A and B are shown apart, each in its own frame.
Chain A
Amino acid sequence: MQGKGRAVCLPADIDTDIIIAGRYLRTKDRSIWAEHVFEDLDPSLGKNLKGAVIVAGKNFGCGSSREQAAIALKEAGVIAVVAPSFARIFFRNAINIGLPLIEADVTCTNGRQIAFDLSAGWIDTGTGKRKVARLSLHMLAILRAGGLVAYWKVKQ
């Protein structure tokens, strides 16, 4: 499972309130979440996420269990998120909706091309391939299916 995109750098401890504010949650219209993603951090950021690989500091996605945070990123066009660590509920949510995550501590330069391979377990930020921890086989299977909904649809 390979992918590549343009780096968008973010700090540590990005919480799910900052990804998508509570005031936008009461809807089933996913485009609303994409439209308001990161609004309280930087209102212009959301429009810059198509084809982006977010590279953040530790503890990305902490706070609320709102799956809308992971969905907002995916709907806005984020290809993957790279961080030294993720909050555990966000981690599960992202995999479940088919948004790849890579646990790695990498230096980020905005706009630089980032390539990765989830199955092989490497990331390349422009300085050559670097080994990263691989997702569990179960999580890879969910991602390959396109998320947990599709995974169970097939499995039933």
Chain B
Amino acid sequence: MGTLSERILGAPAGAYVDRAVNRAFVHDGTGVLTLESYRQMGAKGLFDPSRIHVIFDHIVPANNSTTATLHHELREFAVGSFLNFSDIGGGICHQCMSEGLVLPGEVVVGADSHSCTLGAFGAFATGVGATDMAAIWLTGETWFRVPETIGIRLSGRLSGAAEAKDIALSVVGRLGMDGATYKALEFIGDGTATLSMDDRLTICNLAVETGAKTGMFYADRITLSYLAGYGLTAEEQTSERPVYEQEIEIELDDIPPVVAIPPRVDSIRAVHDLTGLALDQVFVGTCTNGRYSDLSRFARIVRGKKVAIRTIIVPASRSVLAEAIRTGVLADLVAAGCTIGTPGCGPCLGAHMGVLGEGEVCLSTANRNFRNRMGVGGEIYIGSVATAAASALEGEITEPEAPDAG
């Protein structure tokens, strides 16, 4: 009768358990400190290099020689220790892991807060810091407190121009920035069958913005068919109808396109209410919305037109970029005046490649709009891909049209 977390971790909510980790990953941001802690532990060896992934995504390519030197050290270690290594341009860690490296029922730990993204596969996926990860490199396991679970019951299907991002933001708005601290979210109900794997990855990505340890979908036929595309087989997970600590009902048909207004991800307003707000930049990408389906949806809206303001598009991975090249989506984006960045996190964390200036306003498809995150004095509105595309064409926040209306 357990929740997915209880079943995967094998203990009831509230229990402390030590569990083996199936996949552990770091990026260039957290990996440097992980390596330092690992070495300081006087480690005699890695538990199992084949389970460890080092994925460069945060500042790629290096923006200055300090970053380059840190990259160099971590790269040398990763290659020399036979870890699974993805160098610059390979993509964002969560996206790379979602491309055939995570299976339902696994325990997946990443040294990045958005590791909860991979709960979309019905895995127990969560983020830790660098030193926790160093101990995982050493021992292959870590401790967890088995979380209580909030059930998010989705019913109906999205209508109009709303997309998965609008569901994700609406959930954050409902729960608040700490509404699920120490807990897990389980997305259930008939509405889940209308959501693709890309949609689910977007929704689980924002789970951490409610404080949650992870956000999960039960593996179903959609999950299995996605995994089959990578030559993987898995079994469906059926709900044991667990008792949730709290259950929230969300009617998908009622969700309009929304944005999170700065500086809080839980300050949700309908796009309609903010129409006309002037923008300086649009940014499409990140572990939230940088997948092929996102780029393709953006291209469909701007195709044959020109963006009115600087518009930065960063594919989430090399596979996404390759697919966008193959299908002509990339040509459409470039023709519309968009600037394409190296697969990775891009300007999301304000390190490079699209940092905001004092007083500038950005509409971003990322997941955080904290003060100064993308540059000192800059403001971030978080929205969907369709809202970003409609707004890029007008240079101001603009309500997107329903796909078949255009």
CB distance from B70 to the nearest CB of A (A): 6
Query: Does any Cβ of B come within 8 Å of A136's Cβ?
Result: yes
Given contacts A27-B66, A40-B372, A97-B131, contact A88 B213 (CB under 8 A): yes
A52 interface contact, C-beta 8 A: no
Chain B minimum-CB-distance residue to A25: B29
Interface residues of B (CB under 8 A from A): 16, 29-30, 32-33, 36-37, 40-44, 59, 64, 66-67, 70, 111-113, 127-132, 134-135, 138, 143, 145, 177-178, 181-182, 211, 213, 264, 349-351, 368, 370-373, 376
Contacts of A148 in B (CB 8 A): 37, 131-132, 134-135
* Contact, CB under 8 Å: B181 / A87: yes
- Taking A17-B370, A65-B128, A68-B33 as known contacts, 16 extra A-B pairs with beta carbons closer than 8 A to each other, sorted by chain A number, are A21-B376, A25-B351, A26-B59, A26-B64, A28-B70, A63-B113, A66-B30, A66-B129, A85-B181, A85-B182, A87-B178, A88-B211, A148-B131, A152-B43, A156-B41, A156-B44
Question: Known contacts being A22-B373, A65-B111, is A93 close to B178, with CB within 8 Å?
Answer: no
Known: A64-B113, A65-B111, A138-B16. A89 touches B44 (CB 8 A): no
State whether A22 touches B351 (Cβ < 8 A).
yes
Given contacts A67-B130, A92-B129, contact A22 B113 (CB under 8 A): no
Closest to B264 in A: A13
- Asked if A59 and B131 sit within 8 Å, CB to CB, the answer is no
What's the Cα separation between A18 and B37 when bound, in Å?
Answer: 24
3 nearest CB pairs, A to B: A59-B178, A93-B129, A67-B129
Least CB separation from A64: chain B residue: B113
Contact of B370 among A15, A86, A88, A152 (CB under 8 A): A15
Q: Is A96 an interface residue (CB 8 A)?
A: yes
The answer to whether B30 and A65 touch across the interface, beta carbons within 8 angstroms, is: yes
- Residues of chain A within 8 A (CB-CB) of B66 are 26-27
Interface residues contributed by chain A, number (CB under 8 Å): 39
Contacts of B370 in A (CB 8 A): 15, 17-18, 63
Q: Note all chain A residues with C-beta closer than 8 A to B40.
A: 149, 153
Q: Which residue of B lies closest to A15 (CB)?
A: B370
Q: Are B181 and A88 in contact (CB under 8 A)?
A: yes
Residue of B nearest to A58 (CB): B178
Question: Measured between alpha carbons, how far is A25 from B67 in the docked complex, in Å?
Answer: 10
CA A27 to CA B68, docked complex, whole Å: 11
Shortest beta-carbon distance, B194 to chain A, in Å? 31
